[in-house]
Structure 1
Amino acid sequence: VHSDRGGHYRWPGWVSICERHGLARSMSRKGCTPDNAAMEGFFGRLKNEFFYYRDWRGVSVDGFVARLESYLEYYRRDRIRESLGWLSPDEYRRKLGYAV
């Protein structure tokens, strides 16, 4: 589980949970924001594309989780990316002959 050195990731309760479930913890180097650049970028896009500008009132936790899972599936397979030549990951894999 990678984090940005936030205090909640050093909280003894969280450390105990990670140890109990066999999860390794890693943290960015102090004052080195490039360590987290990819994840910071992803979470920024997640918040802008999925979370902000929606009315979440009345949506249950289960409903929220279902919508989040749907967004993550879209992001993983269908969302176009500049780094892939403006193709989706699935289109890019097909172009390379890797996708079925």
Structure 2
Amino acid sequence: VLTEFAIPAGKVYLSPVIGRHGGMPVAWTIGTSPNAALSNGMPPDACSTLKDGEKPVIHSGRGRHYRWPEWIRIRKDNNLTRSMSARGCSPDNAAAEGFFGRIKQELFHKRSFAGVTMDEFVDMLDDYMVWYRDKRIKTEFGMSIMDRRRELGLVA
């Protein structure tokens, strides 16, 4: 699933993998075009975080980005099971859609990006993603998602 950010300098696209349990962005790609490179970039990064024997289900939209032969090859090479909801019904994408709402509320809406270049916005977005993953406090846990994962022994 991907989302678009339109700023005066142009459009920037974000394609993340969001963990359904905890809502942590596991991996992401950022680009200026909603192309194959954008959607193909994040599955290998996400898969590099898997432990031996883990075979997660990857929930995606029905968009062309997730039907391209290269994306399908990457999915198969990494033993990912794909799940897609029926048209107009996207519970599989709920984690990503909820994340998009939060990121747009916290980073994007009600801010002026006049004078911000595409490269500057890409850097801002990437910095936000790192902050969200590593530092943002999740009220439910009383700590960051990464700290919670450490507490549970899921990461070192």
Query: With structure 1 as the length reference, what TM-score do the two structures score?
Result: 0.70
Cα distance between partner residues in 2 of 1:47 and 1:35? 20
Structure (1 or 2) with the greater strand fraction: 2
Aligned-partner SS, 1:74:
helix
Structure 1 residues 94 and 23: CA distance shift in structure 2, 3 A:
closer
Larger gyration radius, structure 1 or structure 2: 1
Q: Which region of structure 1 is more displaced relative to structure 2, 61-70 or 45-54?
A: 45-54
Q: Give the root-mean-square deviation of aligned CA atoms.
A: 2.6
* Amino acid across the alignment from 2:113: W
Superposition deviation, residue 97 in structure 1? 4.6
- Closer/same/farther in 2, CA of residues 64 and 94 from structure 1, 3 Å limit: same
Structure 2 residue 106 is the aligned partner of structure 1 residue 49: yes
Q: Does 1:23 align with 2:71?
A: yes
Shift of 1:26: 6.6
The equivalent residue for 2:122 is: 65
Tell me the alpha carbon deviations over residues 24-81 of structure 1, each in whole angstroms, 9 at most, x when there is no partner: 3874322323122111100000110111121101100000000000000011111111
Instruction: Judge conservation of contact 1:80–1:86 (CA < 8 Å) in 2.
Output: yes
After the TM superposition, which parts of structure 1 deviate over 4 Å for at least 4 consecutive aligned residues? Answer: 97-100
Work out the percentage of aligned pairs sharing the same amino acid.
44
The structure with higher relative contact order (CA 8 Å, sep 6+) is 2
Which position in structure 2 is the counterpart of 1:79?
Answer: 136
Instruction: Count residues with an aligned counterpart.
Output: 89
1:96 aligns with 2:152: yes
Contact 2:83–2:92, Cα closer than 8 Å, also in 1: no
The structure in which a higher percent of residues are helix is 1
Secondary structure at 1:23 match in 2: helix
Q: Which runs of 5+ in 2 are unaligned?
A: 1-38, 40-59, 73-81
5+ unaligned residues in a row in structure 1: which ranges? none
